[in-house]
A and B are shown apart, each in its own frame.
Chain A
Amino acid sequence: MKWVKGLALMAGVVSLAACGNEQADEVSEDNPLNVVATTSMIADLMETIGGENVSVEGLMGPGVDPHDYQPSTSDVNAMSEADIVAYNGLMLEERFVEVFEQLDERGVFTIVMADALNEGELLDPEEDEENLEYDPHIWFSVSHWETITAYAADQLSEKDPDNEDYYQENAEAYLVELGELRTYIEERIEEVPEQSRYLVTAHDAFQYFGEEFNFEVVGLQGLNTQTEAGTGDISQLADFLVDNEINAVFVESSVSPRNIEALIEAAGSRGHEVVNAGELYSDALGSEEDDAETYLKMYRANIDTIVDGLAD
């Protein structure tokens, strides 16, 4: 049974090697802060506020569903060298929260976007459910994003007090742009008649948008993109489309369109024609070619798609 001994020996060597673990953690002031951000929305925000003082590595690229994200080795390297980790929270990055908390314990500065908001400002998916979980798609509320902008600037200033003025200035300028975005959204929404303000999408990502701009939002799949939409969900929603005379539904860039197509067919079989009015960005920004690579452009693109799809 030599190999048993061999294995035992190997196990011993391995455990010894594991003990000799040290970590080098030096933050130099002249170098930019290394920021790792999970979603592309957060990467965009950190870049906007941090400006030249930060080097941002976004983990989830354009069109990536946070649920299906696979880290590459450069992501791992970026995380091991990160000074700051910025993530959404509310279980959006469910698999990695534990990792981020560990990084936090090891002295990496973590900024959780959801921490900027009070519990009262968050939406519950359904009030009567026992095991409540908050809706994590907080970026679709512009006013929440404003709060988060201010919070992120404060946090960055806490990490790097020397440049506080710079971060606050960038945040101020960005808040102005967010204000313009809000005006744009409100103006465009006016083009949609009030009785047709229904947003039907692949999964429940747009509740915050609905809350803020008075849209009835219905997601086919619930909060989690991994759960299957049951046949009951599809036929119920098809009935809903017929009853409310909704003529346009939307797919999402990071979710497979197959369920929405099934919904369109189900409505068709009830003699109600529904069109796929285009693709919305939900859990990730778009690419540069789509002209939706920043939060501001993404939101504008979404609003244009929604309004063009519903206003006719």
Chain B
Amino acid sequence: MSMINEITLIAIVVAVACALPGVFLVLRGTTMVSDAITHTVLLGIVLAFFVTQDLNSPLLMIGATLVGVATVWSIEALQQTKLLSNDAAIGIVFPLFFSIAIILITRYAGNVHLDEDSVLMGELAFAPFRRLMLFGLDVGPRALWTMLVILLINSLFIGLFYKELKITTFDAGFAAALGFSPVLIHYGLMTLVSLTAVGAYDSVGSILVVGFMVGPPLAAFLLTNKLHIMIGLTAVMAVINSTAGVRLAFMLDTTIAGMIAVVTGVTTLLVFVFSPEKGLIKATVNRKREQKKIDQRLKEIS
């Protein structure tokens, strides 16, 4: 397989894997959790490094995932108190974890090249060069396999708990009344978000994690009111964005991650403006129409 096709394939798999849990982040209004995770994983890396003293240890990845989980769980727990808004909860947890990591590095590891980049390589352009070898056989880029597994886990989770996710997302109180714990589903989903973010971070880098998790679901959200259609549209948008992004990057000879992020931004913006039901144009037209009706009413009255 040629370089460009391999990169396209990896981009598609990562995009869909990220976009699926992203659907629920968008619906719950906690999209920036993805951004928080890509920063707080540093704390996990630092802590694991203090234990192993080895920058190449796989423990560092596990540490990153665990702190990612701790991040989403803490955010989730703060939100459950209903004392502060979603973004405020993220705003408390993310800087706290991230700055602890920075302080630990400056205090104890100033002479080590220790940061996210050195552990989670995260460069889509180089992903085809990191091969997975099984029994001496080259079976393809490692990122492709890691993310395929994560994609499968995400699909299974959403497929198996589709009803539960739907009810807890749209009406948590009702869900609790029905007898299954919305909290458990929340935490399950958030654990997947963390796992997906760390895996994708290692495969394609941090900008794209946020772009993939937020862009396609947001566009899909603007196009439909039905959850299953939204999930389908999200996957379609993810595929379009990553394919177009990789092709354009090769045409223009520029950074691939950057190009995909740009394409994601542009397509989401286009949908935002032109969506037939919830788009900006439609909303403006509706508002004008309402205004006219009110004006007419006022005239009739007076």
A residues near B (Cβ < 8 Å) are 1, 3-4, 7-8, 10-11, 14-15, 17-22, 67, 70-77, 79-80, 91, 94-96, 98-99, 102-103, 106, 125-126, 129-133, 222-224, 226-228, 230
Contact = CB atoms under 8 A, between A and B. Distances in A.
15 contacts: A4-B155, A4-B159, A7-B16, A22-B1, A70-B257, A71-B125, A72-B253, A80-B3, A91-B113, A96-B123, A98-B130, A131-B111, A133-B113, A222-B110, A228-B106
B129 A18 contact: no
Interface string B139-163: 1110011001001100110110010
A289 to B, nearest CB: 22
B255 A72 contact: yes
Nearest to A76: B125
A8 B140 contact: no
Contact of B231 (A3, A70, A129): A3
A18 B255 contact: no
Interface residues of B, number: 57
A95 B117 contact: yes
A217 to B, nearest CB: 15
A94 B117 contact: yes
A8 B155 contact: yes
Contacts of A95: 117-118, 121-123, 126
Interface string B87-121: 00000000000000010011001111111011001
A73 B126 CA distance: 10
Contacts, number: 136
A8 B156 CA distance: 9
Interface string B216-257: 000000000000100110010000000000000110011111
Nearest to A75: B125
The 7 closest A-B pairs by CB, nearest first: A18-B140, A4-B159, A125-B111, A71-B125, A99-B129, A94-B118, A70-B255
A74 B251 CA distance: 10
Contact of A103 (B129, B144, B159, B250): B129
B131 A71 contact: no
Contacts of A227: 105-106, 110, 115
Contacts of B109: 131
Contacts of A3: 228, 231-232, 235
A105 to B, nearest CB: 8
Given A4-B159, A94-B113, A99 B255 contact: no
